[in-house]
Every structure is written in C-alpha cells, then in structure tokens.
Amino acid sequence: MKKFTFVLLFAVASAFAQPEKLPMDYWGKTDAMLQDQAALLFEQAHTVLDKYPPSADAGDERKLALFAMDALLHDARLDATRAMTNYVERRFRHVADKLETEKPGEGEIRVHKLYNHGYVIATPSVAIGVDIFRGGRRAAPAVGDDIVRSIVDQCDILFITHAHGDHADKAVTRMFCDQGKTVVAPPGLWEADDLSPKITYLRGEETVTEVIRIPSKNTELTTRVFPGHQNRLPNNLYAITTPEGVTVMHTGDQYNGDDMKWITRVGDEVGVDVLLVHCWMPELEKSIEGIKPKLVITGHENELGHGIDHREPYWLTFRRFADIRVPWVVLAWGESFLYP
C-alpha cells in the first residue's frame, strides 16, 4: 500500500512538473502572439550578445542583435506588457549577479549598464551607482523593489545628475538613504521632502571638487562637479575618481549650448578615463574632443518613457558615433564592460 501511495504521489508531482506546453497557433490571440514573439526575440538577442560581447569593434552579429531589440523597444504595443517587464527585470537581475560574482581585478573597473542612463561602476574597493532608475512609470515601475534592492545592497554611493524622473528615482534614493549610504544630487531635488536631510547637495557656478568619504569601505572618492544644464534645468556632470585612480565621467542629460565654453576645456582640468555619455548629446564630436576620454560608453538608448521619436535606437547611436575617433562601446541593458 505504501509503495502504491508513493508511486501515485510521484506520478502526480511529475505531471505538475511538466513544462508548460507552448501554443502552436495564435488565431484570435494577437496580444499573446506579440508578447511571446517579443520574449523569444529578447532571449535570442541576448544569446547572440553573450556570444559577441561588448567591443569597440562591434561585428555584424552583435549589431543585428541590438537592432532587433530596437524594433521591439519601439513597438509601443509592448509597453508595460509582461514580456517587457520580464525582460527589464531579468537584465537587472543579471547585473546583481555580476556584481556578486565578477569582481574587478587590481587596476580594473567594470561598468555595468542598467536601464536608460543608469550604471554601476565597480572597482576592487567600491561600487558607485549613477542615475539608477527602475524604468516604467512612477505608479508602475518596470522592476520590482526586491530586485533593485539586491543592487543597492552591493553599492556604496549614489550620484544623481538632475531632477528628471528617468534619472532621479525617489524609491531607489530612499533605499540608499535607509541603508545610511551617501546620495549626491544637485540642489533643489526633493528639498521639501523628508529625504532632503539625507542627501548631499553639490553644485557651484564653477567646477566644485569634493572628497567624499565612504566610511564603510574606509575609502574616499574625489569628485568634480561640473555645472551643466539640460536646457535651463541644472544638470550635474560628475567626474568621479575612484580609490584606484581611474576617473569616470557621467554627462547626465547635458543639453545647453552656452556650456560648450567649459565643456571644451574639461580635458585640461581632469584626465577622464571613461566617459558615460548620452547618445543624443548635442555637438557630440566637439564635446568628446574637449573632454578627451580614453574610452566612451554610450547611454540613454531606448528610454521607454519617451515617445517613439525620442526612444533613441542603438542603430542611430552607431550612425552618430561613426566619426568619433576615441574608442567607443555600445552596451545593452544588463551588459558590462571591463576597463582597461
């Protein structure tokens, strides 16, 4: 009797463990077809990207995978669908896993791209978050708090460039503050909020240089804050020098012609190793020549909160950067690049 009961229970458990049978037709189920097609293409694209990782000399296979994602991310019918949110969450989980398992070696930094223009810059001694944003809308973020928290747990500090919602995510900021970690932002961001006393506001009419202590790691970051703007909105450009002596600069959404007078001189003030630049920065070639980075990593492609015409595709980044003489790399969400 006991043997029969065991066999019966095993058979029932096995039946429930069988993989879900995939549909063989979608007649009358257009939305389901689009979602399943998107999920398959996202998966296949990243299979190709894993085989052909980020490089300053991207080949046809890698470009085709990125361009396939452009087509998906420009199909507004997929916005806020299960296929899209699952994809974004998986890319965040991928970064969380990489932060835990792939530590940079001596003299190295690893730049992890999250979503939009958000990054984690990991060194052997510190992990720096910049403009970490969960995606989606305030009422319906694309990434769950538990996944974001797994990244925040592994970061030591957060920098916010400006007050736009696709760069300044209050929920992410609160996670950093609740853990007693430093958050650096331009003045005016959430100053009437209970978060304000926990934020370090940095900015001046000229370049501000600040040494920021990270007590938990017994180390410090030398940070230069350049007074940029997105139109008239204050937009901090941060040049962050890690304890290992590598300097990474983030442009935020710099977009103001009057600032070109000092952007063209940045390279004379600080030696920038890696520039994290938004792909639609105006006067791109002139700006990069003035900053003089050793490597450029592009960002802000395919921000889903924008209309189709301003969801900057990867293929347009390749066109814009075709004449840039500094080595440059295009990362998909969830990918990372090891420097040098």
**pLDDT tens-digit series, residues 311-340:** 999 999 999 999 999 999 999 999 999 999
Q: Which residues pair with 229 in a beta bridge?
A: 234
Share of the chain above pLDDT 90, in %: 89
Q: Is the pLDDT of residue 64 over 90?
A: yes
- Asked if pLDDT for residue 209 goes beyond 60, the answer is yes
- Distance between CA atoms of 238 and 106, rounded to whole angstroms? 23
For residue range 91-108, what is the model confidence (pLDDT) as tens digits?
Answer: 999 999 999 999 999 989
- Residue 96 to residue 8: CA distance in whole angstroms: 41
pLDDT in tens, 16-57: 455 678 788 999 999 999 999 999 999 999 999 999 999 999
| CATH T-level assignment (fold) for domain 68-339 | Metallo-beta-lactamase; Chain A (3.60.15)
> pLDDT by residue (tens digit) across 148-188?
999 999 999 999 999 999 999 999 999 999 999 999 999 99
- pLDDT tens-place string over residues 266-308: 999 999 999 999 999 999 999 999 999 999 999 999 999 999 9
Residue 239, pLDDT > 70, answer yes
Mean pLDDT of 219-246: 97
Q: Kindly tell me the burial class for residue 13, based on how many C-beta atoms sit within 10 Å of its own C-beta (0-12, 13-18, 19 or more).
A: exposed
Residue 9 has pLDDT above 90, yes or no: no
Statement: residue 129 has pLDDT above 80: yes
In this prediction, residues 51-74 reach a mean pLDDT of 97
Return the domain boundaries, the chain: 68-339
Task: Specify the pLDDT at position 158.
Answer: 98
| Residue 17 confidence (pLDDT) | 53
Q: What confidence category does residue 80 fall into, taking pLDDT thresholds of 50, 70 and 90?
A: confident
Identify the band that residue 211 occupies on the pLDDT scale cut at 50, 70 and 90: very high
